[in-house]
Amino acid sequence: MSKYDGLIFVNKPRGVTSHDVVDVVRKRLNIRKVGHSGTLDPLAEGLLIMLVGTYTKKFSKFANFDKEYMGILKLGEVTSTGDSQGEVLKKSEYIHIEIKTIEEAFTRFLGDIKQIPPMVSALRVKGKRLYELARRGITVEREPRDIKIYSLKIEKYDLPFIEFCVHCSKGTYVRKLAEDIGETLGCGAHMVKILRQSIGPYKLKDAVELKDINEGCLRKITL
């Protein structure tokens, strides 16, 4: 095992892609063999685990971990991407919706559920990534996937904004969860903030900032 084998826990900032972070690690360590354990959208922030050297072979171990997110959704607007970076497609009233009704809607998504991946995801269908098709204005049918929501807790109301925390299985799309909650309430919704707080046992508090990445950040962990 070389000195450039290991993990780097990165606090990905909003506005950069996961591949941008890969490029930063490659340049800082002067090594090509770098990957990550699971994509965070440009809108999303938080924990991104970088796999360096022989640790790139351990992708499946990290991809299978549960994850925890803090998110803020906005009621009353449906967008083309399911987040605030997309075009607003529809606006609806939300003022009449009671807090009790919102809380009941959230509880409907606890446990084992099926979720249709969004068109703006990195999932491949017939060799093409969905977001690539979406950019070309192409929508394809997607099969529902089995996921599990272990916990889904509302932390704060500032309507139309709702801050919440979710602990979920691999394969869960938080933006789609927000859209489905909005659809259940009849007013639509989209995400304005997504922060990944943990991947399995690994926490955001242990991550380094993008500007601080160097070989001293590498961790060698037995899995």
Residue 152, domain member (yes or no): yes
- Active-site annotation holds for 41: yes
Kind of pairing, strands 67-75 and 45-52? Answer: unpaired
Check residue 201 and give its pLDDT: 94
Q: Are residues 101 and 124 in the same domain?
A: yes
Give tens-digit pLDDT for 182-215.
Answer: 999 999 999 999 999 999 999 999 999 999 999 8
Residue 1, domain member (yes or no): no
Read off the CATH number of the domain in which 55 is found. Answer: 3.30.2350.10
Give the tokens for residue 110.
Answer: 């606890």
In this predicted structure, the answer to whether residue 32 has a pLDDT above a threshold of 60 is yes
Give tens-digit pLDDT for 116-170.
Answer: 887 666 667 666 776 676 676 767 677 889 999 999 999 999 999 999 999 999 9
Check residue 122 and give its pLDDT: 67
Q: Are residues 194 and 205 in the same domain?
A: no
Q: Are residues 89 and 195 in the same domain?
A: yes
Give the active site residue among 5, 20, 23, 41. Answer: 41
Q: Are residues 124 and 145 in the same domain?
A: yes
Helix (H, G, I), strand (E, B) or coil at 131: helix
Percentage of residues in the chain having pLDDT higher than 90: 70
Structural domain of 131? 67-199
Residue 68 CB contacts under 8 Å (≥ 6 apart), including other chains: 165, 166, 167, 168, 196, 197, 198
Check residue 46 and give its pLDDT: 97
The domain total for the chain is: 2
Helical ranges in 30-82 per DSSP H: 59-63
Residue 213, domain member (yes or no): yes
Give tens-digit pLDDT for 36-80.
Answer: 988 888 889 999 999 999 999 888 888 889 999 999 999 999 998
